[in-house]
Amino acid sequence: MLRSLFLSLSLVLFSLHAAAQDWIKTGTNLGVEKIRIAVPDFKATSQDPRNTELLKTFNDTLWSDLDNAGIFDMVSKSFYPLTQIGAPTDVKFETWSAPPPNAAMLVFGNLAASGNNMTVQGWLYDVKNTASPQILGKQYSDVATTQAARVIAHKFADEIIFRLGAGINGIAETQIFYVSSRNGHKEIWGMDYDGANQHPITTLGSIALSPHVSPDGSRLAFSAFTGSGWEIRMFSFDLNRLVSFPRFAGTNLSPAWSPDGTKLAFSSSRSGDPEIYVIDQSGANPHRITNSKGPDVSPTWNRKTGSQIAWVSGRSGLPQVYVMGSDGTNVQQLTDQGYAVSPAWSPNGTIVAFSWMRHYGPGAPGAQDIYIMDIVSKQWVQLTHDGGRNDFPSWSPDGRHIVFQSNRSGSLQIWTMLANGENQKQITNSGSNSEPDWSWK
């Protein structure tokens, strides 16, 4: 009697313990291909005539955000069952998880405009798990405008990407800053990551180059040609105007933010030969960290640790990419041939993207392409191949996308691609657009 009591007690305790902590067993290379996701159009659940237009913007934005994310294999809409779904009760799992759709995940929901507002409900379902399929269920409401519909779609897409992309934030709400000359002068412009909402930021009436936004998104540093030469300038988004930043002698270019937002690195030729300087974000304490003949320009910080800087140096002849500690010690050379410029450090700290003319010189093909290089192993991969000149790569905060400039379409435009070279698409069209910089969040 006592024995059986003890036995049952221990069993109870064991099962409690097991419930408190689960085990997962898994291993490497088990086919981590892209997730097959089906995203049928959201359904209108009110009679408002504005729904059609709102839904069109919403559906298109949601689809392209998920498509752009780089982790999904979008199931083509021609495979979807014909009945439209808008709520969990409408979902028949087998029609989605079996061929032809053969989806692993399903996104669906509804949108209803009424009065000034609209409400959007969205769900993310794991259709292969009929017991407990819901991964996300969200409701958003905002004013009934297409811009708000776009923003809600971006938010929902980011939620989905965050869940299914193992904790990395989606980029649907990020911005790209760039230089555009479509108004006659080279000014700094900003746009959504997919090219929507292009708008000017500076109106200096001069030449503004190399925009770099701060990690917290509150300020934008850039270099501008003022009457007296090239200066580092600072624009504040909080105040919506330029704020003061110290002026130095010589040509001062390409400011770059440290990942904690406390320092800037830039190149200055105040001592005659362009060298890399580091300065506090307030403009105090400038100090020089390179000291060699030949230009030293285009610094970029290690985005994970902030303890290293990659930059371009002409100390051995043609421009090559180097890496050093952020105090100037421990200089290492990364490239050793051709003409390498514009390094950009990846958010996870292991890779540098840059623009390279590997075969440079008379008689050489002269193609300038974006390459990425693993810093430790120095193995590199070529990402663009389509000819033209590709330059100024910048990483998205999820580390899966790169934005760059390319003239392959005939004029200089901004392009984005996945960080393995796939899915290259042009996102600007008018005027001449260059030197893109992806925001940090």
Regarding 132 and contact with other proteins (CB under 8 A), the answer is: yes
Interface map 167-186 toward other proteins (x if CB under 8 A):
xx------------------
Size, binding site for other proteins by CB under 8 A: 61
Give the residue, chosen from 64, 102, 251, 292, that forms a contact with other proteins under the rule CB under 8 A.
102
Pair of tokens at residue 161: 């990407």
- Cα dist from 294 to 216, 233, 273, 320, whole Å: 34, 25, 7, 11
Q: Which of residues 287-316 bind other proteins (CB under 8 A)?
A: none
Choose the binding region for other proteins from 50-58, 143-151, 201-209, 348-356 (rule: CB under 8 A): 348-356
Pair of tokens at residue 39: 């995203």
Regarding 385 and contact with other proteins (CB under 8 A), the answer is: yes
Dist CA 311 CA 300 (whole Å): 6
Pair of tokens at residue 352: 């540098």
**CB closer to other proteins, 5 vs 166:** 166
Cis peptide before 100 (omega within 30 of 0): yes
**CB closer to other proteins, 104 vs 341:** 104
Give the residue, chosen from 165, 319, 393, 436, that forms a contact with other proteins under the rule CB under 8 A.
165
Q: Are strands 380-382 and 252-257 parallel, antiparallel or unpaired?
A: unpaired
Pair of tokens at residue 38: 């089906």
Give the residue, chosen from 33, 244, 272, 329, that forms a contact with other proteins under the rule CB under 8 A.
33
3-class DSSP state of 157: helix
3-class DSSP state of 88: helix
**CB closer to other proteins, 104 vs 213:** 104
Regarding 70 and contact with other proteins (CB under 8 A), the answer is: yes
**CB closer to other proteins, 21 vs 240:** 21
Residue 405, judged by CB atoms within 10 A of its CB (0-12, 13-18, 19+), counts as buried
Choose the binding region for other proteins from 26-34, 52-60, 242-250, 267-275 (rule: CB under 8 A): 26-34
Regarding 430 and contact with other proteins (CB under 8 A), the answer is: no
Regarding 330 and contact with other proteins (CB under 8 A), the answer is: no
72-97 in b/e form (b: 16+ CB < 10 A) is: bebbeeeebeeeebbeeeebebebbb
Regarding 83 and contact with other proteins (CB under 8 A), the answer is: no
Regarding 425 and contact with other proteins (CB under 8 A), the answer is: no
Choose the binding region for other proteins from 75-83, 162-170, 204-212, 321-329 (rule: CB under 8 A): 162-170
Q: How far is the CB of 14 from other proteins (least distance, A)?
A: 9
- Cα dist from 30 to 25, 288, 339, whole Å: 12, 49, 40
Neighbouring C-alpha atoms within 13 Å toward the C-beta of 23? 4
**CB closer to other proteins, 247 vs 378:** 378
Give the residue, chosen from 2, 5, 16, 32, that forms a contact with other proteins under the rule CB under 8 A.
32
Regarding 4 and contact with other proteins (CB under 8 A), the answer is: no
Q: How far is the CB of 265 from other proteins (least distance, A)?
A: 24
Backbone dihedral region of 262: left (phi > 0), alpha (psi from -120 to 50 degrees) or beta?
Answer: alpha
**CB closer to other proteins, 147 vs 348:** 348
Pair of tokens at residue 327: 């105090």
Largest CA distance in the chain: 97
Q: Which of residues 243-282 bind other proteins (CB under 8 A)?
A: none
Regarding 3 and contact with other proteins (CB under 8 A), the answer is: no
Pair of tokens at residue 190: 């900003």
* DSSP state at residue 143: E
Give the residue, chosen from 18, 143, 249, 364, that forms a contact with other proteins under the rule CB under 8 A.
18
DSSP 318-358: S-EEEEEETTS-S-EE---SSEEEEEEE-TTSSEEEEEEES
Residues that bind other proteins (CB under 8 A): 18-35, 70-71, 97, 102, 104-105, 126, 128-129, 131-132, 135, 162-168, 346, 348, 350-351, 372-374, 376-383, 385, 399-400, 418-423
